[in-house]
Structure 1
Amino acid sequence: MARSSQAQMSRPRAKTGKPADNEGLIPVLARAVREVENAAQRGVVSPANRTKFQVIALLVREERQRAKADTTVSDGDRAETLKRLDGVATILAKTAARDTSLIALLETDKPGSDAARALRRRMLEDAGFELEEEAPVAAPVAATTTTERQVMPDSVRSRMLANPFLAPDFDAAAFQAPAPARRLANWELLGPLFKSFEYGSGGASASMPLPDPQERDMLAPSGTELMHHQARFVESVRRGHRSFLLADEPGLGKTAQSLIAASVANAYPLLAVVPNVVKMNWAREVELWTPGRRATVVHGDGQDLDAFADVVVVNYEVLDRHMSWLRTLGFKGMVVDEAHFIKNLTSQRSRNVLSLASSLRERNRDPLMIALTGTPLINSVEDFKAIWQFLGWIDDKAPRPALLSRLEETGLTPADFGFFPEARRAVVDMGMVRRRKIDVAADLPAKRVVDLPVELDDDLGRSIRQAERELASRLAGRYRAILQNRGTTPSKVSAEERAEVIRLVAQAELDESKASKTGENVFTMVRRIGQAKAALAADYATQLARSVGKVVFFAKHIDVMDQAEAVFARRDIKTVSIRGDQTAIQRQKQIDAFDQDPEVGAAICSLTAAGVGLNLQAASDVVLAELSWTAAEQQQAIDRVHRIGQDVPVTAWRIIAAHTIDAKIAELIDSKAGLAARALDGEDVDLSAESSVQLQALMSLLDDALSGTKR
């Protein structure tokens, strides 16, 4: 038997002769996909049909893999099966073209909800598969760590001995009591809530009303000053609001706001869950903004921990071994920095954070909960889900009582005209705060992104272009094969069908690329392009360092960083390096050297390890040697330099390999910035292009090959 992602299953018992067209899994998929298609044609794809769409796409992918691997069928029967699966996939593509929010569901690798898992099982059973019983799936907020992995630092034992009878808040249970079911009791609401951020903005930013501060000068410690937008946030906390998605653009001082908010709310002890790269800086920020409070940083097994400190700072990577004592220490507030890190609800990181948040709410009537991220949306509006769960606004299946009451007050249901803007406002008023630099930091200098095309005219460059041509040829061959199976030719295919098949071929190639460890694909090609650009990008960065001062050099891969460091060394320019394999203390020393040592001319940074949370404003120029796959990651990197305290204009130089797929990727990254612009900032931008950059890059490559266009 082959193991599926959810349960053991085996094929239906074979019958003699060729299977009938109405037997097996494909007819089940065909009927289901027609139902979803009909719903899309009516204009509204319900959450149930969205789940069905996702499960169909997953089963088509699984059935295709099984058909290719099945050695018991003839080549003719295999070709027929693949042709019928292509038919189902084509309808999926047509449906996604009608409702582009479905595109993201084509890219998921497994069912993401209990409903999807149950539907997948039911469809397999209808097709005659024999399924074993599934093991129960733990809820996302359940404890997922084992006793063997847990540690108990000596300092924590001392604190527990000093205060063994931590008094619970007996009002907490009453406060969390569910509201009585009323008008919306039988409605599925999460899907409409997510959609409300696509369609219900009405030009308004996703920011709750904030009061003007009455005691602005008294909020910040002596020697510091809050900007007006920061003081308004803290004033809201002073007046009693306790849960926030603080989504200010990067560089607007979210850390300071959250720390002073904790002081105003007396939310101590406070737990801060942060990326490893910034946990030492968090301790410094505590000392700067709340000098009367002590911070302790959890390293490894926590043997240096001060459990009596006011603020406990821990990074995502070591959470799993500290869960037992973190749940019971008695925190009254919790801050999650770079909260988009928890967007994948199936990841251990997300489960740990949600479990801690649930424990904290059980022990406190109204704890201070703050999610910090300048980029809450990476690929789709459903990236909000884990953050909203952390804040206690929703659970895995529905709004929690406070949000449900706000939705009830609208007097509307998802079937009513006007529901989407009212639902969006209800969520925003739960505590979403979003300010842009252009609106609140009038004195912040300008920022621009400049593309620098470079020619890869050496042997490596020529081999990259040849590999790109071979990939395009392979995609074109698949395209023609699908048309042949359908009994048509490229000259007779309609524009609509051409686009559908291009997407189908690109998606199949992307799936295979993600699963493959060898061979040439879009990922290996982009990495080779980065290697080919490394010396050119570093050479340009050295010129900047000599002419304008300190520069920050970002790359994705270690070998590109190594090449850059070698170029700087040959030019006698002193550098520091910020990488993912450094300890927090080592990394902070590198950051301090860049900031304070006038001899250091450049910081060579990993886009992953240094792209969030750091303050590198000693420089005003950024060189992006390799492109990110998301607009958010690129923006985060640039905003390490463009932030409060910067007093000169900032320029980000993107090094683009001309006449390669690199140029298309740069264009696609820019187009994807529209998701946040529409959902968060209320801008009227088209979201039709919102899908993965990898997928769209492959589609563009194939489209150019079919059109005879040369890059």
Structure 2
Amino acid sequence: MPTTAPTQTSSSRRRRPSSARRDDESPIIPILARKVREVEAKAQRGKLGPTNRVKFQVIAFLVREERARVKADTEASDATRAELLKRLDGVATILAKTAARDTSLIQLLEVDQATSPVARRMRRDWLLESGAELPPDELIITDAAPAAAPVVPAALAERQVFPPQVEARQMANPFLAPDLTARAPASTARRRLDGWELMGPLYKAFEMGAGGTAASMELPPVPEFDRLSPRGLQIMPHQSRFLEAVREGHRAFLLADEPGLGKTAESVLAASVADAYPLLVVVPNVVKMNWAREVERWTPQRRATVIQGDGENIDAFADVFIVNYEILDRHLSWLSSLGLKGMVVDEAHFIKNLTSQRSRNVLALAGRIREQTGNPLLLALTGTPLINDVEDFDAIWRFLGWTNGEKPGPLLMEKLDATGLTPADKAFYPEARDAVISMGIVRRKKKDVAADLPDKLIADLPVQLDDDFGRSIRAAERELGARLAAKYRRIIDARGDRGLAPGEVDDEIVRLVAHNELEESKAAGTGGDNVFTMVRKIGQAKAVLAADYALQLQRSVGKVVFFAKHIDVMDAAEAHFAAAGLRTVSLRGDQSGAARQEAIDAFNDDPEVGVAVCSLTAAGVGVNMQASSNVVLAELSWTAAEQTQAIDRVHRIGQEEPVTAWRIIAAHTIDTKIAELIDSKQGLAQRALDGDAVDPQSSDSVQLSALMHLLRQALGG
């Protein structure tokens, strides 16, 4: 969509007849002004996903086009021309401010920047909305055939390993079994929605919670007999219904059940039902050994192998290959040639950042599996698929083959087309949400499918930091607030108050100052006083108080799980427990899989072990600790999802007692506000996934919201 010099023809087709123009000489400008505000709002929240990046690019091109058209319009008066150019400059100014926040946007402003069919459709739709008459070649936009990306990018080629055991497997059977699965021929017929930009409306459908029902596809009824559970085990009804859907032929799922409902067991048995072997399972490092145990437990007739390092000791003849995200990059070559029939991605929200190498690795392998197998089993497992924004769905949908990031895949497009609606129709959004759900979203809540699971309570326990360390933390908070307030006042003084009433605060400037502080804090790391170092100091100050409470709790109720975010807080707690003569185990990120599992088993089985001291990040997933019904959160997380994951290590299938999570909160500090913000961030998932009628919450991060709170407090707001 490069800009070209305007001609009389382009000028005439871009203007509506004078009878329809009324007082608006440039009807595209109000549309651009509205769209650029939408992009600016997303950028201020740090949520500029693929759809809004395309929107940014289209706005920039249309501003250029319209500026050239206005300058060349000999019919407009000088005053009209000056007014229109001023309005266009206002849109361009917002684009420049947005690009200053996210410098990766600058390349999208290049005149010769190649544009996608999505961008061309978006431009066309906005021009049509403005009343422009377009020639046929701009009305019909076709998609270029996507170039096949290699599984192993050139940058990773030298890192590839080839375990000798894999060579033995290939020599034993040098030919992959032919895939005789019937594949639907590629349709060449045009669909009614082919010309529409659909990704934005699909995200919007979930953001609105359109439909008001839980995001879970219709599943078959529970079968009369349990034909899958090995001796001594029994699957639950909700698991059985999922497996019946696999038996009926469904193969791609976003399994988004709440944590603790047995997604691992469901996945292991799904592979058995679908005969999806060899199966690749990509997981966080901390749960590799647990996955191997679950394969052995639920499908004892199958063999699992855990890939460590360069894979020297793997069992190349295994049915299930388990690898962690961090080392997947060096195993891409041989895994892509193994003839995989299925792939499971555990904690699938780990791939939400499409710019990360681990996301690209997962998506490249999934693409290769779809090429080799007509209908592979693809499972994305996560109880928290939405962390900050609805576009967190993007990578997961790509992995499952439902979309390619720019448009829906053929099957989803067929379902959307069958609605008979377009994004211009309000009724399209609930129908579109249902269409995506029917592709394979399965979301069950504990209260609905595990009625016998005990209640869960989160209780806040305020503590006073009344020593010198605590006083220094409060002083540092005041200094940070004062620094932010000084920046705010400098901006207000430079631009003028613009009609602000006495004592009124400009929320946009508050957000801008807080955003800049957050970016500087991320760059500074642990240097200086910022929101990250302040929260860490609060954790250090609470460490012994939280440990002492956990100690008293253990003496009265038995085993306790103690969570902290930082190693020094864990160390201080363990020292306090040891001084009291209490036996503990520790779960940390630097442990081997065997040591980690040994600690979990000791906590669950050894009556002498009273407390498990766990890292929020390393032990928040894939751990079953039902021997306890009490959790102490010594430090707060930055996300509601991380807090939920930690508590659900205890509140899960197998728990027989009501669960209480005790949050230790430092009174009269930013800790109190962070706890409040975490609780307020539940609205997105409740609205998008569970169909709850909750008011839309701000999508600002907890860090940004906390800084805005400090600034308003310093300003007296």
TM-score normalised by structure 2 residue count: 0.82
1:401 corresponds, among 368, 393, 410, to 410
How far residue 118 of structure 1 moved from its aligned partner, in angstroms, is 5.4
Conserved? CA contact 1:200–1:420, under 8 Å = no
* Structure 2 residue ranges without an equivalent (≥5): 1-27, 43-48, 61-89, 115-145
**In structure 2, distance between residues paired with 1:138 and 1:560:** 50
1:167 corresponds, among 177, 186, 189, to 177
Aligned to 1:182: 191
Aligned to 1:146: 156
1:51 corresponds, among 50, 53, 59, to 53
**In structure 2, distance between residues paired with 1:523 and 1:53:** 33
Conserved? CA contact 2:370–2:376, under 8 Å = yes
Aligned to 1:573: 582
| More divergent stretch after superposition (615-624 vs 198-207) | 198-207
Aligned to 1:61: none
TM-score normalised by structure 1 residue count: 0.82
Please tell me whether residue 703 in structure 1 is matched to residue 705 in structure 2: no
Cα deviation digits, residues 473-498 of structure 1 (max 9, x gap): 01111111111111228963695x61
What are the residue-to-residue correspondences of 1:233-252 with 2, within 5 Å? 233-252=242-261
Aligned to 2:72: none
Alpha carbons of structure 1 residues 403 and 494: separation in structure 2 relative to 1, 3 Å: farther
Cα deviation digits, residues 28-81 of structure 1 (max 9, x gap): xxxx998643347899999998336767999xxxxxxxxxxxxxxxxxxxxxxx
Alpha carbons of structure 1 residues 178 and 170: separation in structure 2 relative to 1, 3 Å: farther
Conserved? CA contact 2:304–2:320, under 8 Å = yes
What are the residue-to-residue correspondences of 1:118-137 with 2, within 5 Å? 119-122=108-111
Conserved? CA contact 2:326–2:358, under 8 Å = yes
Bigger radius of gyration = 2
Percentage of pairs with the same residue: 64
2:166 corresponds, among 121, 140, 156, to 156
Which letter maps to 1:547?
A: S
How far residue 264 of structure 1 moved from its aligned partner, in angstroms, is 0.9
Alpha carbons of structure 1 residues 141 and 382: separation in structure 2 relative to 1, 3 Å: farther
Aligned-residue Cα RMSD (Å) equals: 3.1
Conserved? CA contact 2:36–2:59, under 8 Å = no
Which letter maps to 1:511?
A: E
Cα deviation digits, residues 175-204 of structure 1 (max 9, x gap): 473563321112111111111101243210
| More divergent stretch after superposition (284-293 vs 379-388) | 284-293
Alpha carbons of structure 1 residues 178 and 312: separation in structure 2 relative to 1, 3 Å: farther
Alpha carbons of structure 1 residues 459 and 399: separation in structure 2 relative to 1, 3 Å: same
Which letter maps to 1:470?
A: E
* Structure 1 residue ranges without an equivalent (≥5): 1-31, 59-86, 96-104, 126-136
Task: Provide the secondary structure at the position in 2 that maps to 1:219.
Answer: coil
1:475 corresponds, among 484, 487, 492, to 484
| More divergent stretch after superposition (141-150 vs 521-530) | 141-150
Conserved? CA contact 1:565–1:604, under 8 Å = yes
How far residue 587 of structure 1 moved from its aligned partner, in angstroms, is 1.2
How far residue 602 of structure 1 moved from its aligned partner, in angstroms, is 0.9
Which letter maps to 1:580?
A: G
Which letter maps to 2:52?
A: R
**In structure 2, distance between residues paired with 1:307 and 1:216:** 35
Task: Provide the secondary structure at the position in 1 that maps to 2:506.
Answer: helix
Cα deviation digits, residues 494-536 of structure 1 (max 9, x gap): 95x6112211111111111112242111111111111111111
Which letter maps to 2:157?
A: T
Conserved? CA contact 1:209–1:429, under 8 Å = yes
Conserved? CA contact 2:388–2:701, under 8 Å = yes
1:657 corresponds, among 639, 652, 666, to 666
Task: Provide the secondary structure at the position in 1 that maps to 2:662.
Answer: strand
Task: Provide the secondary structure at the position in 2 that maps to 1:218.
Answer: coil
Aligned to 2:507: 499
Task: Provide the secondary structure at the position in 2 that maps to 1:652.
Answer: strand
2:442 corresponds, among 433, 436, 440, to 433
**In structure 1, distance between residues paired with 2:503 and 2:434:** 42
**In structure 2, distance between residues paired with 1:54 and 1:652:** 44
Conserved? CA contact 2:107–2:113, under 8 Å = no
Which letter maps to 2:564?
A: A
Alpha carbons of structure 1 residues 39 and 150: separation in structure 2 relative to 1, 3 Å: closer
Alpha carbons of structure 1 residues 655 and 209: separation in structure 2 relative to 1, 3 Å: same
2:33 corresponds, among 28, 33, 37, to 37
Alpha carbons of structure 1 residues 41 and 689: separation in structure 2 relative to 1, 3 Å: closer
Conserved? CA contact 1:36–1:53, under 8 Å = no
Cα deviation digits, residues 349-407 of structure 1 (max 9, x gap): 11111111111111001011111100000000100011111111011311111111111
Which letter maps to 1:162?
A: A
Cα deviation digits, residues 309-343 of structure 1 (max 9, x gap): 11111111111111111111111111111111111
Alpha carbons of structure 1 residues 34 and 526: separation in structure 2 relative to 1, 3 Å: farther
Alpha carbons of structure 1 residues 140 and 654: separation in structure 2 relative to 1, 3 Å: farther
Conserved? CA contact 2:36–2:95, under 8 Å = no
Please tell me whether residue 590 in structure 1 is matched to residue 599 in structure 2: yes
Aligned to 1:510: 518
Aligned to 1:334: 343
Alpha carbons of structure 1 residues 478 and 432: separation in structure 2 relative to 1, 3 Å: same
1:551 corresponds, among 544, 560, 567, to 560
Task: Provide the secondary structure at the position in 1 that maps to 2:344.
Answer: strand
What are the residue-to-residue correspondences of 1:229-378 with 2, within 5 Å? 229-378=238-387
Alpha carbons of structure 1 residues 332 and 315: separation in structure 2 relative to 1, 3 Å: same
**In structure 1, distance between residues paired with 2:285 and 2:51:** 40
**In structure 1, distance between residues paired with 2:100 and 2:592:** 34
**In structure 1, distance between residues paired with 2:503 and 2:222:** 61
What are the residue-to-residue correspondences of 1:214-225 with 2, within 5 Å? 214-225=223-234
